[in-house]
Amino acid sequence: MALRSAAATPDRVDRMVQMACPAFAPGMRTPDFMRAIQIRPLRWLISRLPPSRKANDDIMRKIGHGASLDRGRIPSSFFDWYADLHRYTHTMRNDFDMIAAALNPKSFDPTAGLPPSLLGAVEAETLFLWGEDDGFGGREVADNTVAPMPNATLKMLPEFGHLPWMDDPCSVAASTAAFLSDTMST
| CATH code for the domain of 82 | 3.40.50.1820
Domain total of the chain = 1
Report the chain's mean pLDDT, rounded to a whole number. Answer: 86
pLDDT at 2: 46
Q: Tell me the residue range of the domain where 79 lies.
A: 2-185
| Residues of the chain under the 50 pLDDT cut | 1-6, 186
Residues above pLDDT 90, as percent of the chain: 51
Give the closest residue to 167 by CA, choosing from 60, 43, 51, 54. 60
Q: Where are the alpha helices (DSSP H) in the chain?
A: 32-36, 40-48, 53-62, 66-70, 76-88, 91-101, 116-120, 139-146, 164-167, 169-185
For 18-65, write each residue's pLDDT tens digit.
999 998 888 888 888 787 877 888 888 887 888 888 989 999 999 999
- Look up residue 46 and give its amino acid: I
pLDDT at 35: 79
